Amino acid sequence: MMRIPGTFLVLSALMLSGCHGRGGSTGKAPTPAKGSNLPAIRHVVSLFDHRPWWNADVYGDRDPEGIRFRVFLDDGHEKGVLREGTFHVTMYELTRESDGKVARNLVSDWHYPTRQFPVIDAKIMGKGYHLTLRWARKDLAGKEIELITEFEGIDGQKARSGTKRFSIPKYMS
């Protein structure tokens, strides 16, 4: 009979049981092992509050300088899942041309790893991320915008959300 060292048994038990938690004390997403056989992300769900605006102005005016929203990744097998990868968020300003056509002009784009965002746990949607993004231009208050959120996994596969339109509030100071 072969003797198995106790350290090996303890390490094996830890590896088989896995880690449970919410991404450690930082609240950031855990990093799955590279090369794991996780199902591909099929769809990105972006959920916005009624007033998703973020005010980060040092001058104290009420016009927003950014947006906050929640993102859930759908792999088709379980509620929202956490994955290692990158969020690509693009924001377009919408303007009306003289002929009535809508023009879309890129005004901000963000590219951040998923581990940069706090992890959330929603009862119905599962695990996800809370994104807070500051836009590049201050003059967007009172304008109409479109936001698109895309997730790119470490394997290069991409999935995106639907397009969301907003009118950014403009306050009279």
Q: Spell out the residues 6+ positions from residue 150 whose beta carbon is closer than 8 angstroms to its own.
A: 44, 87, 88, 89, 90, 158, 159, 160, 161
Read off the pLDDT of residues 26-52 as tens digits, 9 standing for 90 and up: 444 444 445 568 899 999 999 999 999
Rounded to two decimals, the pTM is 0.75
Amino acid 4: pLDDT: 46
